[in-house]
Chain A
Amino acid sequence: MLGIQLSELLGEVPPGVEEALDLVAGLDDALVHGLGRLGEERATAFAALAGAMAGTPLGDRLGEAVEKIANGSVADEYLTALAGGRTALFGAVHDALLDRLDSALGRTRAEWAGLSAPASAPDNLLAGSRSWLRELAITGWRGVDHDLVSASSQTVEALLAEPGLRGLAVLLDGFAAELRASSPIATMDVPPARRWADLWARAVLLSHPEGRTGVQEAAGVTGRLLILGVDVHEHGTAVQVQVHGLLEVSGESRPRLVRTSVAAAKVDTIVGTAVWGLLAGYPVLMGALAERRSLQVADMPLTAGGDLVWQEERARPGEAADPFAVARVQLAGALAPAVPPLDRHPVRIAEPVLVEGFTAFVEQDGSVEFRLNDTSIPVAVDRLPACGPLTPELVAAASAVLGLMRWDAGRWSLQPFAVQTTVKRKPAEAHTGDWAMGPTDPKVVKAEAKAGDAVAVLRERAGRLLRR
């Protein structure tokens, strides 16, 4: 990304974004206090949301929902309309931001061509989730107690056993854990209103019988996957490694930007480099990360949303491929995928970019900023995962960075996943996936040996105690 591209991106906020987010704030605030006791002020904010969306296909349902809820009738269908309206606003914000980013980068994006046929799922499981989410909405975050949080456990357990509902299970579990850790929320300083309303609204839509797009239609592709870097997602009981790369599909002249992911269940005491141990069943993909290799894939499913659904048996390791070289030569001309309709939310914006020629500034509070020409971009050093070798110091000393463009609360930032730097006067590189097959830094290896193998200890305990 060049300075001129960055200044175009940061130049001005796309029209309507701030207004849309202000509308959402009224709903978010209502959820803090509970829909069961909507005061006059919050009812007005509610009405503004419905009013703004009156001309949309959701207008009628949203209008009805707002009226009913204000009168104390909090039924699932009204909550679905509310969550739908909120999600549609974020969808519009997402589109405006991504458009701006694409045009600044000169990136071409495919049109959405996927089918999102609802997948079938046992409705009793979804009903359990809906009823918990309804209780939450009525009570409001401020009123959440231990019993209400614990009431989600059975639902989550049942959802985890259903492969098609993994996303909802992981979402509810992460959400419940935050509510639990924040209790008593009644006395919490400021609840994270935007975030919890995001999680709630998404869960409401995924719990609707027709709300899930399920497994997206995927077509088999054959070609070469060139890895750019890896983004890691994690909460107490889940970890996901999401690889961003360029896929050269046989017979196509232009590489495609794709993601490929592996997720595992875990517990909160499995942290840092230990998470890689949970992904040991994917040696081809993890090996390619650790060794910085390309991968040959044959007839591997690729969704319309640009997700390569990884299958080890359809992949084999290729030649060494330096992600920086790949990005310099091919990233600018790559075709970006369309975003699946339900996933259109600013948090999903994660566009790979290569940034060089910057000056790094480190503030007193530890935050890092890159300046390109006259424009500065904050660097999300708080998003460097503990499982990899990247540190704020390495990032601040870097001469080139590969990472993802992110947006949250009115601000773009750069989340690094690889750096080129100089260590003891020699050029060096560090990538988040370097330790995918185990740490290579002697100090980290030693610390890991000292901490013991958490996964092995817990598996031994499980083997002895679980089936009794």
Chain B
Amino acid sequence: MNADRTAWDRRSVVPVIPPIQRRKLAKVPFVELADGRLQGVVSSGSDIARVYVSSIAAKTHGFNCSTNNNRPCGGLGSRPCKHLVALATEAVLQYGFERVARYLGVEAGDGDSTGGDLIRVLKGGPESIPAATVFSRFLRHLAYLEVPATTEPIADLQWFPATGAVR
């Protein structure tokens, strides 16, 4: 194992991105740690065509939630709304508590392990975060499912072995 560690920068195939865990997507179809934010999309509980765009900035912990049409979320006050709690909860399922806490720069206590715990210790308040950017990243995410499959061999994928049976 030590020999493997030292060879990390001499290997062509190394796992760079930690594996993510499978989770139910119905409520929160999209979560990502990107652009210095935990951001994602939460499906509305009442209107099937509406989604909420929720995000929490790393370091400052400023947060925001609005609909995809840029209407502010009614539940958002000085503290995060239920969509932000759902976002944090699903992010913890997907990436693990450690990774999300580290990305946000949250100082978690010993017993903290859930998305609710993360939300509780946020030190920021409501902040203007561009919902359009996040929503367009979600649309781009969905667009992958429309790219047709191919049977042309992709040699480039030799650098990306599937892993994950070791859990």
Query: A310: CB under 8 A from chain B?
Result: yes
B residues engaging A (CB < 8 A)? 1, 7-20, 22-26, 29, 31, 33-36, 43, 48-49, 51, 68, 94, 138-147, 149-167
Task: Given A160-B147, A195-B12, A310-B151, verify A384-B25 contact (CB < 8 Å).
Answer: no
**CB closest residue in chain B, given A260:** B151
B48 partner residues in chain A, CB cutoff 8 A? 464
Looking at the assembled complex, report how far the CB atom of B159 sits from the nearest CB atom of chain A, in whole angstroms. 6
**CB closest residue in chain B, given A178:** B16
A461 partner residues in chain B, CB cutoff 8 A? 29, 43, 51, 142
Grouping DSSP codes into helix (H, G, I), strand (E, B) and loop, the B interface class, with mixed when no group exceeds half, is loop
A385 partner, pick from B13, B49, B154, B164, beta carbons under 8 A: B164
Give the tally of cross-chain contacts (CB within 8 A).
243
**CB closest residue in chain A, given B133:** A150
B162 partner residues in chain A, CB cutoff 8 A? 232-234, 239, 275, 383, 385-387
Contact with B along A250-271 (1 / 0, CB 8 A): 0000000001111111111101
Query: Are A194 and B165 in contact (CB-based, < 8 A)?
Result: no
Looking at the assembled complex, report how far the CB atom of A72 sits from the nearest CB atom of chain B, in whole angstroms. 26
Name which of A28, A367, A409 has the most chain B CB atoms within 10 A of its CB. A409
Query: Are B166 and A279 in contact (CB-based, < 8 A)?
Result: no
Name which of A198, A267, A310 has the most chain B CB atoms within 10 A of its CB. A267
Query: Are B154 and A167 in contact (CB-based, < 8 A)?
Result: yes
Query: Are A462 and B13 in contact (CB-based, < 8 A)?
Result: no
Query: A357: CB under 8 A from chain B?
Result: no
**CB closest residue in chain B, given A280:** B149
Within the assembled complex, what's the spacing in Å between the Cα atoms of A104 and B158?
23
Within the assembled complex, what's the spacing in Å between the Cα atoms of A234 and B164?
11
**Interface segment out of the listed A61-69, A107-115, A130-138, A344-352:** A344-352
Q: Can you show 11 pairs from A to B with CB atoms below 8 A apart?
A: A28-B9, A195-B11, A202-B156, A233-B158, A238-B154, A262-B151, A266-B144, A272-B22, A303-B153, A458-B145, A462-B145
B155 partner, pick from A167, A262, A384, A388, beta carbons under 8 A: A167
B22 partner, pick from A150, A157, A271, A342, beta carbons under 8 A: A271
**CB closest residue in chain B, given A366:** B166
B35 partner residues in chain A, CB cutoff 8 A? 146, 150
Task: Given A177-B17, A367-B1, verify A157-B11 contact (CB < 8 Å).
Answer: no
Within the assembled complex, what's the spacing in Å between the Cα atoms of A378 and B163?
16
Query: A391: CB under 8 A from chain B?
Result: yes
**CB closest residue in chain A, given B156:** A171
What's the tally of chain A residues with a CB closer than 8 Å to chain B?
107
B139 partner residues in chain A, CB cutoff 8 A? 465-466
**CB closest residue in chain B, given A206:** B156
Closest 5 CB pairs of A and B: A386-B164, A384-B165, A385-B162, A233-B157, A265-B147
Query: Are B160 and A457 in contact (CB-based, < 8 A)?
Result: no
Query: Are B154 and A170 in contact (CB-based, < 8 A)?
Result: yes
Within the assembled complex, what's the spacing in Å between the Cα atoms of A25 and B162?
26
Contact with B along A453-467 (1 / 0, CB 8 A): 011011101101110
A311 partner residues in chain B, CB cutoff 8 A? 151
A347 partner residues in chain B, CB cutoff 8 A? 12-13, 158-159
Looking at the assembled complex, report how far the CB atom of B147 sits from the nearest CB atom of chain A, in whole angstroms. 4
**CB closest residue in chain B, given A389:** B165
Query: A174: CB under 8 A from chain B?
Result: yes
Interfacial residues of chain A within 413-468, with CB under 8 A of chain B in the complex: 415, 451-452, 454-455, 457-459, 461-462, 464-466
